[in-house]
């Protein structure tokens, strides 16, 4: 860190302040997304963080790095945001759908565009990091975090994802090291319950020939309306989920039953997939055309979780407001 840059910022030089903090903006946004599960909320909290840092710059004593100081502000702003949001009512359980494998807790989650990840991909985590950088942004990990109480969520992300030391985390959250250690132990146990079992095949590398082949097979069978073909691409324990909807389907038989119900309920509508990427995983904007076949309307975003040469999870987000973040329009000419 340049002391001259910090001195100029403290003297009121906004350009110097911008140079000091902007290099951390995108990693802070991913950090807030992990805790909040929402891209929009993460952006809002980062804006609040940078404004608070500008106003509080005189109080920065330099005992930690500017980066750690910003993480402290951002984490506490995230906790405030979660506290202010309160409990949200779970979605209604729609009648007529096939009986799900389980009714889960509602997980309030949005997909994260890969294009945002490219802006801080070279930043290495600290020495205490527990997870690989890619898996800490994958949907399974983000969804698992949302099952934690807010403070445990923050502790696990700061300690196991970013690699801050226990003493640093305790200082950021204004608590004791023993409290951090206890919260971390409970958080790790809960997250492991919601992550895929160890020893599963690794996903193919992004945009590798293996990934492209599997994604193309999924696209072809989907466009053909071939439900048996789709099911044949799944692992035996694959999940189909629709956050925050609480009904979830596991295994080819249950997923096939839901897909047949879903296809029948949509009648003569035709669907189209437009490829993109979310959370380091293959994803698609889903569009349908009905009464006016010249125009296809957005229905949501689908994200695939791959294990080896099979699909281990299909996650469908019905909120079309996320599409512009992926460069996808609300309507398409057919």
Q: What is the pLDDT of residues 61-97, one digit of tens each?
A: 888 899 999 999 999 999 999 998 766 666 666 667 8
Mean pLDDT lowest for which of 3-17, 44-58, 83-97, 293-307? 83-97
- Supply the pLDDT for residue 87: 60
**Residue 135 to residue 189: CA distance in whole angstroms:** 17
> What is the average per-residue pLDDT within 45-62?
93
- Asked if residue 221 lies in contact with residue 230, where contact means CB atoms within 8 angstroms, the answer is yes
- Supply the pLDDT for residue 199: 75
Q: Where are the domains of the chain?
A: 209-333
> What is the average per-residue pLDDT within 229-240?
97
Specify the higher pLDDT residue, 136 or 118: 136
> What is the average per-residue pLDDT within 229-245?
96
Is residue 268 pLDDT above 80, yes or no?
Answer: no
Look at the pTM and tell me if it is higher than 0.85: yes
**Residue 17 to residue 12: CA distance in whole angstroms:** 8
- Supply the pLDDT for residue 89: 65
Sign, CA dihedral 330-227-248-206, equals: negative
Backbone angles phi, psi at 272, to 5 degrees: -140, 140
Q: How many CB atoms lie within 10 A of CB 295?
A: 13
- Asked if residue 70 lies in contact with residue 112, where contact means CB atoms within 8 angstroms, the answer is no
| Beta strand 234-241 pairing with 310-317 | parallel
Is residue 299 pLDDT above 80, yes or no?
Answer: yes
- Supply the pLDDT for residue 72: 97
The pLDDT mean for the chain works out to 92
For residue 260, give every residue at least 6 positions away whose Cβ sits within 8 Å of its Cβ, in sequence order, or none: 227
CATH class in words for 209-333: alpha beta
Is residue 269 pLDDT above 70, yes or no?
Answer: yes
Is residue 1 pLDDT above 70, yes or no?
Answer: no
Confidence at 121, pLDDT banded by 50, 70, 90: low
- Supply the pLDDT for residue 106: 85
> What is the average per-residue pLDDT within 265-283?
91
- Supply the pLDDT for residue 122: 62
- Supply the pLDDT for residue 229: 97
Residue spans of alpha helices (H) in 195-226: 209-223
**Reduced to 3 states, what is the DSSP secondary structure of residue 58?**
helix
- Supply the pLDDT for residue 235: 97
**Reduced to 3 states, what is the DSSP secondary structure of residue 198?**
coil
- Supply the pLDDT for residue 267: 75
Determine the length of the chain.
334
């Amino acid at each position: 860190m340049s002391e001259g840059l910090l001195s100029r910022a403290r003297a009121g030089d906004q350009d110097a302040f911008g140079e000091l903090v902007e290099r951390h903006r995108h990693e802070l946004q991913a950090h807030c997304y992990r805790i909040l599960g929402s891209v929009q909320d993460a952006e809002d909290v980062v804006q609040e963080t940078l404004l608070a840092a500008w106003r509080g710059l005189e109080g920065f004593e330099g005992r930690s790095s500017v980066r750690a100081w910003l993480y402290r502000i951002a984490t506490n702003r995230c906790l405030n945001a979660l506290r202010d949001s309160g409990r949200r009512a779970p979605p209604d359980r729609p009648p007529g759908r096939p009986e799900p494998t389980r009714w889960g807790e509602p997980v309030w989650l949005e997909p994260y565009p890969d294009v945002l990840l490219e802006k801080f991909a070279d930043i290495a985590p600290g020495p205490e990091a527990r997870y690989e950088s890619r898996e800490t942004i994958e949907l399974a990990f983000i969804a698992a975090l949302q099952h934690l109480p807010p403070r445990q969520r923050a502790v696990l992300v700061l300690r196991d994802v970013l690699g801050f030391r226990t003493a640093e985390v305790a200082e950021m959250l204004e608590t004791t090291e023993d409290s951090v250690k206890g919260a971390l132990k409970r958080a790790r146990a809960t997250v492991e319950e919601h992550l895929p079992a160890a020893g599963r095949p690794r996903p193919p590398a992004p945009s590798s020939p293996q990934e492209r082949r599997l994604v193309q097979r999924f696209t072809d069978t989907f466009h053909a309306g071939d439900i048996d073909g789709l099911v044949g691409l799944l692992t035996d324990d694959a999940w189909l989920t629709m956050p925050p909807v609480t009904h979830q389907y596991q295994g080819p038989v249950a997923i096939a039953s839901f897909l047949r119900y879903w296809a029948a309920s949509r009648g003569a509508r035709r669907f189209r997939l437009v490829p993109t990427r979310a959370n380091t995983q293959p994803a698609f904007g889903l569009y349908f055309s009905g009464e006016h076949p010249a125009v296809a309307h957005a229905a949501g975003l689908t994200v695939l979780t791959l294990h080896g040469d099979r699909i281990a999870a299909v996650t469908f987000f019905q909120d079309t407001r996320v599409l512009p973040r992926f460069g996808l329009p609300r309507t398409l000419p057919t």
